[in-house]
Amino acid sequence: MGGVDRTGEEGRGAPVGRRVVLGLLGLGAVGVAAGPYLQRAESGLAERDPSGLSGLLPGNNGFRYYSVVSSVPERSAADYTLSVDGMVERPATFRLPDLRAMPQRRLVRDVQCVTGWRVPDTPFEGVPLAHLLDAAGVRPGAGAVRFSCFDGAYTESLTLAQARRDDVLVALRMRDNPISHTHGGPVRLYVAPMYFYKSAKWLSGITVTGSVEPGYWERDGYDVDAWVGRSNGRDDAPTG
Ligand SMILES: Nc1nc2c(c(=O)[nH]1)N[C@H]1C(S)=C(S)[C@@H](COP(=O)(O)O)O[C@H]1N2
Ligand SMILES: [Mo]
């Protein structure tokens, strides 16, 4: 079903873009009327971004900030840990230097949010998720992977076959820099062939499961198989 425009990010996720647009139009009062959730999200961002314009600044290349919670505690490079557990032979916890020492892959693709905004040719770099799964040793009977985040709320999931694709990364770098807190650093998931909601920010856990457990927006009607142009009500011609 095409429920993404009735519920979902635009309704609840309080993208910065909306506040910025309201502000630019001089319609701040409309923002106040938009409800407590939006207000909380706005003040959370104001702490992070005193300019209040990150969603539209040219320096931000058209990205919009999304978080389903009002504020996310920063995790420094020194404090960061990523656990890999569930149906694996060797559960493990990795720190940033561990991840940096693993094979890295750099991809340059378009970022596409399901709500319509798009950022062309965006470099992401990190450890192929398949490498981490192989290191952990996926047990027989496993069929999916669930991702959790240190914002304490967001979740995502992939089938095991999707998770093993070579264009799915545990990303340490974005636009050839460390991933900023705003963009989900120090480590976020990057699922290149799917809408950007699959690319969970503030990644803290990778759990191998028997079958897919739909993620945060997927419980709200978004497609689990979120191929760009071929999901969420789109059926664009294949781009190859
Ligand atoms: N933890 C977490 N990850 C998330 C989200 C979120 O709200 N929380 N939003 C998703 C959506 S809908 C999009 S479009 C992108 C936005 O990433 P950005 O804030 O770096 O532009 O993050 C995705 N990953
Ligand atoms: Mo999105």
DSSP 87-105: SBSS-EEEEHHHHHTS--E
37 inside domain = no
Ligand at shortest distance from the CA of 114: 2
Q: Ligand 2 mean position to 181 CA, how many Å?
A: 17
Cβ atoms of 150 and 202 within 8 Å: the answer is yes
**Is the dihedral angle over the CA atoms 35, 26, 115, 73 positive or is it negative?**
negative
Q: Which residues pair with 209 in a beta bridge?
A: 144
208 inside domain = yes
123 inside domain = yes
Atom of ligand 1 nearest to the CA of 195: 14
> Does 149 score more than 60 pLDDT?
yes
Helix (H, G, I), strand (E, B) or coil at 194: strand
Q: Ligand 1 mean position to 151 CA, how many Å?
A: 11
**Host domain of residue 187:** 81-220
Whole-number pLDDT of residue 236 = 86
34 inside domain = no
Whole-number pLDDT of residue 21 = 40
Cβ atoms of 69 and 152 within 8 Å: the answer is yes
> What CATH code is carried by the domain that includes residue 144?
3.90.420.10
Give the model confidence (pLDDT) of 82-113 as tens digits: 999 999 999 999 999 999 999 999 999 999 99
> Residue of the nearest CA to atom 12 in ligand 1?
197
Helix (H, G, I), strand (E, B) or coil at 4: helix
233 inside domain = no
Q: Where are the alpha helices (DSSP H) in 93-240?
A: 96-100, 129-136, 160-163
> Residue of the nearest CA to atom 2 in ligand 1?
201
| pTM (two decimals) | 0.82
Cβ atoms of 87 and 209 within 8 Å: the answer is yes
List the structure tokens of 53.
Answer: 């314009």
| Mean of pLDDT values over 117-142 | 97
> Does 1 score more than 50 pLDDT?
no
Atom of ligand 1 nearest to the CA of 111: 14
Q: Ligand 1 mean position to 217 CA, how many Å?
A: 10
Confidence label for 26 from pLDDT (cuts 50, 70 and 90) = very low
Q: Ligand 1 mean position to 154 CA, how many Å?
A: 9
Q: Ligand 1 mean position to 68 CA, how many Å?
A: 8
3 inside domain = no
Q: Which of 148, 196, 203, 218 to mutate to test the pocket of ligand 1 (most atoms within 8 A of CB)?
A: 196
Whole-number pLDDT of residue 206 = 98
Query: How many domains is the chain built from?
Result: 1
Give the model confidence (pLDDT) of 67-76 as tens digits: 999 899 999 9
Atom of ligand 1 nearest to the CA of 66: 19
Whole-number pLDDT of residue 54 = 45
Confidence label for 7 from pLDDT (cuts 50, 70 and 90) = low
Confidence label for 17 from pLDDT (cuts 50, 70 and 90) = very low
Q: Tokens 């600044």: give the residue.
A: 57
| Mean of pLDDT values over 153-172 | 98
HSE toward the beta carbon, residue 180, CA cutoff 13 A: 9
> Residue of the nearest CA to atom 11 in ligand 1?
197
Whole-number pLDDT of residue 11 = 67
Helical pair 16-24 and 36-48, crossing angle rounded to 10 deg: 90
Query: Mean pLDDT in the chain?
Result: 83
207 inside domain = yes
| Mean of pLDDT values over 219-236 | 94
46 inside domain = no
> Residue of the nearest CA to atom 22 in ligand 1?
197
